[in-house]
Amino acid sequence: MATLKQLRTSVASITNIQSVTNAMQLVAAARMRRAQELILAARPYAQQLDRVLQRLSGSIDSLAHPLLTDRSVNKTAYIVLTSDRGLCGGFNANSCRVAFNDLQPDDGVIAVGRKGRSFFRARNVDLLSDYEDVFRELSFGSAAAIADDAKNQFLLGEVDRVMLVYNEFLSVAQQQPVVEQLLPIVPQESEDVGGGQYLFEPSPEVLLDTLIPRHVNFQVWRALLESNAGEQAARMRAMDNATKNAGEVIEELTREMNKERQSSITLELMDIIGGAEAVA
């Protein structure tokens, strides 16, 4: 049975923890709103870029650019996006498990985030490269560096396919692990892109040399934005649950503390009454 002093100390400690988790929840909520704004701002450019590539893909041969060329797959590189910090529930474990289940013995991982690097290193997975502190100051330059790394390994023949694994932000309560093929690029067919002929200036080949690297960079950038928003939403939800749990523990300890104080007061009164009766 804990003493009254121990109970008071526990209540004070958990109250301090509750204040910290509540503050972390508010910070995560603010960062999530900022991440949502970045996603909304990036969508028009991504949609227009996809439309142009769809029209180009219908006018040229798929062998016109090395990043479009499909080949037999002997080794796949998985770009796995995770956070650098914890306290976000199962956010990191979900994407890591999805990638790990798809890995073949010869495949490798490009780990973005400390949590993913630790996960795959503990399981002796081949780490082709790793990046950390990307989400501290999230920028398009970081996405371009990761994409350039993947493109170089693909063009040099070190890997035959590049997959992108991240948590897609669906809502505050839901983040879904997604596995997408980044390289070689698979042109997506669209209903509004018919079989008509288009005139391009400059030539489609020159346009591809410019647009395809940008497309790959932007795909990584979009995944980073989705993962960043998902991380903040998961952390906000985890901290909200922690704050509520701390409140429940404080209430329980307060009841125990009141019982212990009442018991001690009762014992003191019994001693006083017994002493008074003895004197009488």
SS3 of residue 112 by DSSP: strand
The single-letter DSSP state of residue 188 is: P
Question: Which residues have a catalytic role annotated?
Answer: 88
Distance CA 196, CA 8 (A): 78
Yes or no: say if 221 and 39 are a contact pair by the CB < 8 Å rule.
no
The pair of structure tokens assigned to 51 is 């439309």
Helices 4-57 and 204-279, axial angle in degrees (round to 10): 170
Beta strands in the chain (DSSP E): 76-81, 108-112, 126-131, 161-171, 174-183
Residues 256, 7: contact at Cβ < 8 Å?
Answer: yes
Whether the CB-CB separation of 144 and 200 falls below 8 Å is answered with no
Nearest to 114 by CA among 87, 90, 132: 132
Q: What is the dihedral of CA 273, 276, 278, 280, to 10 degrees?
A: -140
Tokens 């983040």 belong to residue: 175
Q: What sections of 127-169 are H helices per DSSP?
A: 140-155
